[in-house]
Structure 1
Amino acid sequence: MEGSLQRLGVNGFDMVWVHDVAQDLHGDDWLGKLEEARSGAFRVLTRLRNEGVITAWGLGVNLTELSERQ
């Protein structure tokens, strides 16, 4: 994250998206990808939000099933 902030010359990000962890991209492996995101990216992004590095984070998906599981 620090490298991205420096490269862009900013102190933080307004919004960060986790993309493409749904069934339409990963088929039968999508639940594994969701769990990977939950245990990794979701936790890190929540910490960064709490630290004020990002304002918010969300999901960028084409199917609603993923969002409904949250």
Structure 2
Amino acid sequence: MIRAFESSSTADGRRLVAGSTGLREASQHTDVKLTVVAEQLLEHARGAAQPDAIHDALRAGLARRPRLAP
């Protein structure tokens, strides 16, 4: 059980790093502050529309990343 927890937290950590890197890249490619990109992503998760430029930058960033194993 401990190994399962450790491997799960390692995978979560990799996802967190990949996610924060993606947000940072989207911020840099759109010239929008990182905090604004993060806020807009949260609002989008709650149902708000996401600006096209940020949506496109996030999608492009995800396409460049290798898939993480669960």
Answer yes or no: same fold by TM over 0.5. no
Q: TM-score, normalised by structure 1?
A: 0.31
Higher alpha-carbon Rg = 2
Higher strand share: 1
Higher helix share: 2
